[in-house]
Amino acid sequence: MERKELESCVVSSIQRGLLGKPDLVLVKQGDQPLIVKDVKKKNFFYRWTLGLWMIHWEWKIYCRLNGIRGIPRSVNRVDRFAFAIEFIPGQPIHREAVLPPHFFAELERILKEVHARGVVHLDLRHKGNILISETGDPVLIDFNSSLCLKNGLLLRFLFPVLRWVDRGGLLKLKQRVAPSSMTAGELESLKRINRLRKLWIFN
């Protein structure tokens, strides 16, 4: 898909990104619905600096995570300002949501596979980044705050700490929507993570 084709395939605008955020549009390529993240129409300075870097970085993360069930697969790099990923229909999880019994086990499985590829999400406390699909399964999106540590001292010493940031996001969601299902160990872990979180500027 190139830029000209993209503009002719738009189905709807999902999100008009505010300052520092890409636009999200739903497009259809043949019978396949896709989500496109795009900074092409942002102001000149943002488009050629942070916007350009964010698109490149998040595309690399999605490509690295291809094949993990519950994460949209990377489909196409439209140009330097945009990329397309698989569209998985889903909704944000509200406090009163009733989640199926397997939901959190599946979410833990996704995080385990993400971490096994050297990636940490780092923004799971944002309500819109964990969705529930039409089949009741978790969908993990929005990796523009993520880090990818391939090897060396950072992977060895920093990565275990960053995994706890993701673990805290999972437990916070569980406390919000299914508090009665939390074990004593999970409650204690969340307390420790919340204490450490005060030192983490991004959450």
Residue 203 belongs to a domain:
no
Choosing from 86, 114, 147, the residue where a domain stops is 86
Regarding whether 136 and 100 lie in a shared domain, the answer is: yes
Q: How far apart are CA 14 and CA 106, in angstroms?
A: 26
In what helix (H) or strand (E) does residue 93 lie, and over which residues does it extend? none
- CA torsion, ordered 139, 200, 165, 88, to nearest 10 deg: 10
Regarding whether 112 and 80 lie in a shared domain, the answer is: no
Regarding whether 184 and 100 lie in a shared domain, the answer is: yes
Domain that holds residue 114: 90-197
Regarding whether 96 and 77 lie in a shared domain, the answer is: no
Identify the CATH number of the domain in which residue 180 sits: 1.10.510.10
Query: How confident is the model over 1-20, as a mean pLDDT?
Result: 81
Choosing from 51, 86, 121, the residue where a domain stops is 86
pLDDT, tens digit (0-9, with 9 covering 90-100), for 39-81: 999 999 999 999 999 999 999 999 999 999 999 999 999 999 9
Q: How far apart are CA 59 and CA 37, in angstroms?
A: 10
Choosing from 37, 56, 86, the residue where a domain stops is 86
pLDDT, tens digit (0-9, with 9 covering 90-100), for 132-158: 999 999 999 999 999 998 777 766 778
Domain count, the chain: 2
Query: How confident is the model over 115-142, as a mean pLDDT?
Result: 94
